[in-house]
Structure 1
């Protein structure tokens, strides 16, 4: 088994970056989901669930100093990592945070592209959001993810789903950080702890899926047949949702690189 793909999503619900290597820190992959778009009036987070065109936003982590934004029909915008001069209260699911606002230029750019008033905010590594204590230890934090620092999917699981649906599907529909090859379909469901290179992880919760995988990550168009969600409903439905992939918490920090061996510890 080995790490076959590594993805980072600098801006929550925007397009992802395929990486060859990346360090991890206390919140997950360095630069992963450290930025988020929120409604200007309420501070509530925006995602592709309600704003499909977010899939066309390209957000590139530019060192540790800036975010580089591009989108169809828009001029590139470089957004500096904001300081704490202007803080904004934001909401992501049931969690609230007070985080730096990235300024009026970024807000105007995103408002223009997305067609609704919004703001861009940033989460410093020293902050972070406590992971649900039903699955994590006190002090284990994540960035602006839907709940956990890492998402893992086995390539064999996607290959099986593709066979069932009967047409190609991009792994990016499911927005994982880590893709593992060399396993049977859904082998990850039975793991408790793994090690990738020198970094150990706990597998803490199956990932429940929403409508985002029905969105083509390159065109932002919804699948008229609601695939692959409808197929997942036939065999991956459980208590609390439809599950595909596993949420992970790292036991420490380290370097990850495509090709690293993967070992099941428990």
Structure 2
């Protein structure tokens, strides 16, 4: 199998950023992946004592489809985040200052409109990932499985609906489900596959139009007997991964 695309998502619920290559570190996500989030005003998240809390505590596509219309770009070197929101002037602000984070929070709160709860905060916590799961993982989707879903859906599905880090070609549909508990080589890194990814209503949202114009979770259940697409894997040994690199299952099936 071959890596076709690699993405990070610096702000939970916002723009995917394509990468040609990236270094993986043991026990960590992709660098900058889900580093930031917009915490709703009633969120239980405490940046001073960060702990995993469910996605509804934050702005997220599952509940806030309109976030798909916000285009963001993060510069990890300078810490600047650029937001382009339809009908508003671009916002360029630092994620490293109180003033910059407040400006980002105001812009995203305005984008949420009536879906904002209380006074949302733009948050991060060193070493914390605002992933949908508590374990720090890399998400991988086999494009053969996505194509199988497209066939029963009768329509193309933008892979970015599923917000994975790595998309790979080759192999049979759903073959990745057989890797749970097994090790894989991804480029120069070694990972262990830990679980399947259960799909939620976020995948209903068209990443270009913000319309809920598809029903992947329902289609998966009706046609395949589950609501899963993709896998989570934890990094055991770090290394570089790049577009064009191979994915190989290293240990024999037990």
For 1:184 and 1:31, how far apart are their aligned partners in 2? 31
Contact 1:102 1:120 in 2 (8 A): no
Q: How does 1:20-99 map to 2 (within 5 A)?
A: 20-25=20-25, 26-43=27-44, 44-64=57-77, 65-82=79-96
- Structure 2-normalised TM-score? 0.83
Moved over 4 A (4+): none
Is residue 239 of structure 2 the alignment partner of residue 254 of structure 1? Answer: yes
Q: Residues 237-257 of structure 1, C-alpha deviation per residue, up to 9 Å, x if partnerless?
A: 45xxx2111011111333221
- Find the counterpart in structure 2 of residue 140 from structure 1: none
Is residue 157 of structure 2 the alignment partner of residue 172 of structure 1? Answer: no
Q: Residues 32-89 of structure 1, C-alpha deviation per residue, up to 9 Å, x if partnerless?
A: 1101011124353221122111112222220332222222222222232326xx7xxx
Q: Residues 141-188 of structure 1, C-alpha deviation per residue, up to 9 Å, x if partnerless?
A: xx1111142111101001111111111111111111011111111111
Aligned length: 229
RMSD: 1.9
Shift of 1:258: 0.4
For 2:160 and 2:203, how far apart are their aligned partners in 1? 8
For 1:42 and 1:30, how far apart are their aligned partners in 2? 25
For 1:259 and 1:156, how far apart are their aligned partners in 2? 16
Q: Helix, strand or coil: the match of 2:89?
A: coil
- Find the counterpart in structure 1 of residue 11 from structure 2: 11
1:200 aligns with one of 169, 190, 197? 190
**Higher normalized strand content (fraction of residues):** 1
For 1:80 and 1:253, how far apart are their aligned partners in 2? 30
For 1:74 and 1:122, how far apart are their aligned partners in 2? 25
For 2:164 and 2:102, how far apart are their aligned partners in 1? 31
For 2:141 and 2:245, how far apart are their aligned partners in 1? 15
**Higher normalized helix content (fraction of residues):** 2
For 1:105 and 1:145, how far apart are their aligned partners in 2? 23
- Structure 1-normalised TM-score? 0.80
Give the gaps of 5 or more residues in structure 2.
Answer: 45-56
* Worse-superposed segment, 200-209 or 249-258: 249-258
Give the gaps of 5 or more residues in structure 1.
Answer: 87-100, 129-142
Q: How does 1:172-191 map to 2 (within 5 A)?
A: 172-191=160-179
For 1:61 and 1:149, how far apart are their aligned partners in 2? 21
